[in-house]
Amino acid sequence: MSDIAKQNLILVGNGMAGMRTIEELLKLEPEKYNITVFGDEPYGNYNRIMLSPVLANEKTLEEVMLNDDNWYQENNIRFEKGKRVTDIDRVAKKVIAEDGTELSYDKLLIATGSTSFMLPLPGADKEGVIGFRDVKDVDAMVDAALNYKKAVVIGGGLLGLEAANGLMKQGMDVTVVHIGDSLMDRQLDKDAATMLKTSLEEKGMKFLMSHASEEILGDGRVTGLRFSDGSEVDADLLVMAVGIKPNFELAKSTGLHCERGIVVSDTMQTFDPNIYAIGECVQHRGQVYGLVAPLFEQAKVAANHLAELGYGRYEGTVTSTMLKVTGISLFSAGDFIGDDDTEELLFRDVASGTYKKLILRDNIIIGACLYGDTMDGTWYFQMMKDGTNISDFRDSILFGQAHLGDAGHGDETRVAAMADNAEICGCNGVCKSEIVNAITEKKLFTLDDVRAHTKASASCGSCTGLVESLLAHTLGGDYSQAPSKKSLCGCTELTHEEVRAGIREMHLKDHEDVRKTLNWKTEDGCAVCRQATNYYLLCENPEYNDPESRFINERAHGNIQKDGTYSVVPRMFGGMCTPKDLHAIADVAEKFKVPEMKVTGGQRIDMFGIKKEDLPLVWKDLSEAGFVSGHAYGKAMRTCKTCVGDSWCRMGTQDSTGLGVKLEELTWGSWMPHKYKLAVSGCPRNCAEATIKDFGVVCVDSGYEIHVGGNGGIKVRVTDFLIKLDTEEEVLEYCAAFSQYYREDAHYLERTAPWIERVGLDKIKAAVLDDEANRKELYERFIISQKPAQIDPWKKHADGVDENQFKSIKITAA
């Protein structure tokens, strides 16, 4: 695109939110605009949340710089640094700077951020009275520390404590003045605040709590601070850190609608469609935000619309706060105080410096406050957002994820004490030092950034809490980050739910439709998203078929082994067989010289060592004998394990084998998010192990108990009881409805056990038990989806072999 065709985009404000928008825009449409950036300060874009380590001599300005002068040049951006914009002419569509510079725009982005709130005290204009917001303030504090000794910080919040800590590191005697009776009252309850105050006092910080400032003393320069009770404290330097206020005076002066900030829509547009606004200066749905995570979410949406893609929406952010104050880890989210209608779970160990409090309403977390040990903060926050009912594990929830087996993911080892070579991400083999180095050297400060550069947390996601805690620990200071949503893969920023919704609502038909319409970053996708979207497309259209986007085991209907051969498992419904069936399997084994056979735990026969080129012929013979694929290798319904029930067993209460056959006939051939197993036990002795299956039936004298969400394997999870039913017909209906709800709601490669832990059993009961009409609809959708699924691909081989299907199979694809 030539410069003549380009539009002019001007950014007013060179801070983190505005520049993140430019970075996102360059990823989407790098040639769409001639970009100009105006910044008040004589620097490039720096990480403002890292000013505290700069004050404490732990970082230099160069180390916290995000975009230096060279970056603007390399990206062909005109950078007007040290120039404050004083006027916007919306009619002529131009901006005017303080030095007279005038530039025209087609699109304007306002990101003027916020300013320090300065108390209107008598004497506030004296020398030595400053805020704590930018590099200039840091320089003033460092200079003061060289010549003076006594510092007073007004404000016992996060910013004030970080300023006080930095001044102590500079050698000053520091007193923190706070009008309230507990520190950080927006982030901590009184107990946690008391522990924090005690710890900081042990480090030498002094406090004057419940003190209302009245007058700043001194002639030309501050000498002290007088309080409303008449008492005074000496001060050579006074730092006001009582909060920030949105900086929207420029926007207001030009006629844009402002209330608490510049009012913007879900597309980050102001009331002037040519002007966007973002960051701490804006008001969205009545809210203003000061944390990094919401501002970066806004940046993605603003960039999406500046690129004229048009589908991004910002709907607000539920925030948590994970931070470090002078080396002490803190976490809070939601309502961590509670009321008469809530319950409180509390763990407190003063000696170890650990405090955990969860506020519950009807066994759902509505707030959390953690001090010292914050490793499980992101997990609590996710459950709070999802509305997870914790009834089943409330007795151990304060001990963290690591105590729940498959119910949760985590690690008892605390990230701050981990060795540098400790493995954080087992899926991708990423250790602690790799992540720390990437954060510091590449200036990363979001979970998505770490995923993109290191792959940590990019696969199964079980290490997400560790990575986020490592981010907070490494960045320190007043770093605050709400847990990022987990995108489907690196090819898209959309979650599993958003991709499924896009396919459903936009009636997308194939992979190309998905990648084009939903703005995939890569042209062909990757193995992760191709397989996941293939499954989601199949769920919406049972006739859809793209075997090339499935695992090789699913495409070949054989399980690839370590020597490159395959094992083949024909289906034996409910484990039942006849002499004729056994003869047919034996004939195939002899004909193709199968070196080894085994009866599986799923009551079938597995034939090992079959060559790839023999697979079509093996299945031809098995098909002629009446066998269909056992899907022992697929993300699909695998088996229905049964015991003999009342047909033969003196303990049996019902015909468990017959019911198992009916269930398998109902569900076989079903593509699922992951492997899916059923079982029917003829009595409560449970010989078929129904209570560790995805869907299990335990027969009793009076009917059938239905159990869901079980899992064997390394970490056993016992099923949740769903309902007691009277008839086999009801069992079949509820099985189909539950299976279909799992198919439509779970993420691809998510077993029923973690799915139920994620969404909560109450949600599943509401869909399958409480809403009869919905259950009937789920049942009907399952039956419809089974019609094409249960046409076995190997039946066609009875009259001939389609060997072409195998010519494209690559063993390495496994």
Terminal CA-to-CA distance of the chain, rounded, Å? Answer: 42
Q: Letter for the amino acid at 29?
A: E
Q: Where are the beta strands (DSSP E) in 326-472?
A: 328-334, 343-349, 354-361, 364-371, 423-425, 430-431
Interstrand relation of 107-110 and 275-277 (parallel, antiparallel or unpaired): parallel
Task: Give CA–CA dist 251/21, Å, rounded.
Answer: 19
574 close to 564: Cβ distance less than 8 angstroms: no
What does the DSSP assignment read for 495-561? EHHHHHHHHHHTT--SHHHHHHHTT-SSSS--HHHHHHHHHHHHHH-TT---GGGS-HHHHHTSEE-
Task: Give CA–CA dist 319/334, Å, rounded.
Answer: 8
45 close to 445: Cβ distance less than 8 angstroms: no
Task: Give CA–CA dist 480/292, Å, rounded.
Answer: 6
- Is 687 within any annotated ligand binding site? yes
Q: What are the residues facing 677 on neighbouring strands?
A: none
Nearest to 47 by CA among 65, 30, 73: 65
C-beta neighbour count of 231 within 10 angstroms: 11
Task: Give CA–CA dist 655/770, Å, rounded.
Answer: 28
Task: Give CA–CA dist 748/736, Å, rounded.
Answer: 19
169 close to 55: Cβ distance less than 8 angstroms: yes
Radius of gyration of the chain (CA): 32
Query: Which class for 285: exposed (0-12), middle (13-18), buried (19 or more C-beta within 10 A)?
Result: exposed
Q: Letter for the amino acid at 364?
A: I
DSSP, collapsed to helix, strand or coil, labels residue 679 as strand
DSSP, collapsed to helix, strand or coil, labels residue 601 as coil
**CB within 8 A of 556, min separation 6: which ones?**
566, 612, 615, 633, 806, 809
Task: Give CA–CA dist 521/515, Å, rounded.
Answer: 8
Task: Give CA–CA dist 723/761, Å, rounded.
Answer: 12
Task: Give CA–CA dist 332/187, Å, rounded.
Answer: 6
- Is 649 within any annotated ligand binding site? yes
- Is 683 within any annotated ligand binding site? yes
C-beta neighbour count of 720 within 10 angstroms: 19
**CB within 8 A of 429, min separation 6: which ones?**
423
**CB within 8 A of 413, min separation 6: which ones?**
422
CA angle at 197 for the pair 193 and 199, rounded to the nearest 5°: 115
Task: Give CA–CA dist 109/171, Å, rounded.
Answer: 42
Q: Classify residue 5 as left (phi > 0), alpha (psi -120 to 50) or beta.
A: alpha
Whole-number Cα distances in Å, 437 to 52, 326, 419, 434, 461: 20, 21, 14, 5, 21
Task: Give CA–CA dist 343/241, Å, rounded.
Answer: 34
Nearest to 265 by CA among 247, 281, 251, 277: 277
Task: Give CA–CA dist 283/26, Å, rounded.
Answer: 25
- Is 699 within any annotated ligand binding site? no
Binding residues, by number, are 643, 649, 683, 687
Binding residues for siroheme, by number, are 687
Binding residues for [4Fe-4S] cluster, by number, are 643, 649, 683, 687
